[in-house]
Amino acid sequence: MLDELRNEDSNFVAIPPIIVIDGPSKNGIKIDISVTYYSSTEINKVDYSNLNLDFTYMPVPKEFLDSSFEKMISEYPILHSVDEAISENDVVTWSAIRSSNNKILGEDKEVRTKATKTDSFSINNEIIGHKVNEQFETTAPDGVSFQITINEVKRPVPTYLNDENIHLAMLHNVNSLNDFKEKIARDTAKNNASNFLLKYYEMALDAIVSKNEISINDQNIFHSTSNHIDAILANIDDEIHRRMIFEQILNETGEGLKILERARENSITSYYLVLIDNILGGKENINVTEEDIQKELEYINHSMFPRPNGVDSEELFSILMHQKMALYLMKINNPSQYEIVKKDLNLDI
C-alpha cells in the first residue's frame, strides 16, 4: 500500500500504522492494518514560519561557572588504591565466572563499578566488605552463581587540584586548570542549551498546531490512548484497586477520568509530534550523520555530567534529529537566539 502511495505522491507523510490482530480462532488469524497519511498538498499547507514565540535563551552566567570551577577544584575526588575492605562509593574492578546447575554460563573480565548499597540483589552491593585479591561466591535470585575476584579497589579522596596534580583526575584532554575551567564551561553550556532547546521545541510544536488546521485521525488517538491506559493499569499491583480504576475509566469518573484525559492528551501530543517530525525532516532535508552521532558519543563519554542510562546510537539519532529540527525552527523564527544556542550546543543543522 505504501509503495502505491509513493508512486502516486512521493512526498506524502504517514503516521505509524495501527495493527490489530484478531485470533487465533477456528477461522485462523485476522490482521487489520490501518495507515493514516497526509498528501503533499496537505503537507505544503502547514506553515511553521512567523510563529511569534515568546522565547529568550538564558546562557549560563559567568558567575555560576566561576563558582562551580572553584568548588570543583577545591574538593575533586581523586581515586587512590586501598587495601582496606570495600566501602560504599569505592570504585572496584572485578572479574567473575557465571554458572548455573554446575554449568558455566560466561565470564566477566575487568568490570569497573561503584560500590553501592541496594535493597535488591546487585554485584555493586555484594562486593562491599571484601578486599583486593579476595575471591567469593554469591548467587542471584534467578539461581545464577557468581565466582567473583576483586582485582582493584580505589577510594575517592577529596583533593585540591592544581596544575601539578590535575593529571591525577584523568580527565580527557585536560592537562591544566585552564583546560579544566574551559571544559566545565563547554559542558555546562551544552547541557543548558540542550534543556532550553527541548522547551523551545515544545513551544514551537504547540504554536504550529495552533496556527494550522491539522486534522487528526480519531482511530489513531483511540488506539494510542488505549495503549497508554493498558500500560498504567498493568503497573497497578493491587487487583482490587486496578479494577476500581478500570471501572472509573469506563464511567469517566474520579481518578479514572484524570487518567483517561491525561492518556488522551499524551496521545494527541505524540501524534502531532510524529507528524511535525516527518514534515520537517522531509521538507527541509534535516539529517543526522554518523559523524554527528560519533561526536555526541564522544561528548557523553567524557562529559562532566552523568552518562544517561542505556543510551545508544539509535536513541542518539532521535535526540539529535529533534535538536536539529528545533534549531531549524529557531533559525527561521528566532534567528538571533539561534546563533547563541547553536554555539553553546555545538551543533548546527
pLDDT per residue over 293-302, tens digit each? 999 999 998 9
Least confident of 197-206, 232-241, 251-260, 306-315: 306-315
Distance, in Å, from the CA atom of 103 to the CA atom of 107, rounded to the nearest integer, reads: 12
Listed by start position, the domains of the chain span 1-38, 46-75+162-349, 77-159
Least confident of 75-84, 166-175, 215-224, 261-270: 215-224
pLDDT of residue 138 exceeding 90: yes
- CA torsion sign for 171, 173, 175, 176 is negative
Distance, in Å, from the CA atom of 203 to the CA atom of 198, rounded to the nearest integer, reads: 9
Question: Which pLDDT score, from 0 to 100, does residue 167 have?
Answer: 95
**pTM score of the predicted model:** 0.77
Do β-strands 145-159 and 76-81 pair in parallel, antiparallel, or remain unpaired? antiparallel
Q: Which residue(s) pair with 34 in the sheet?
A: 18
Q: In this structure, which CATH number among 1.10.1020.10, 3.40.50.300, 3.90.1300.10, 3.10.50.30 belongs to the domain 77-159? A: 3.10.50.30
The x, y and z cell numbers of residue 223, run together, are 488506539
Element (H, E) at 244: helix 239-251
Element (H, E) at 94: strand 91-100
Span 90-97, mean pLDDT? Answer: 97
Q: Which residue(s) pair with 19 in the sheet?
A: 33
Q: Give the CA radius of gyration of the chain.
A: 27
Question: Which pLDDT score, from 0 to 100, does residue 119 have?
Answer: 92
Question: Which pLDDT score, from 0 to 100, does residue 4 have?
Answer: 67
Query: For the residues of 255-300, what is the DSSP string, one character each?
Result: HHHHHHHHHHHHHHHHHHHHHHHHHHHHHTT----HHHHHHHHHHH
Output 63 or 281, whichever has higher pLDDT: 63
The x, y and z cell numbers of residue 37, run together, are 497519511
Question: Which pLDDT score, from 0 to 100, does residue 76 have?
Answer: 95
Question: Which pLDDT score, from 0 to 100, does residue 14 have?
Answer: 79
Only one residue has cell 543526522, namely: 288
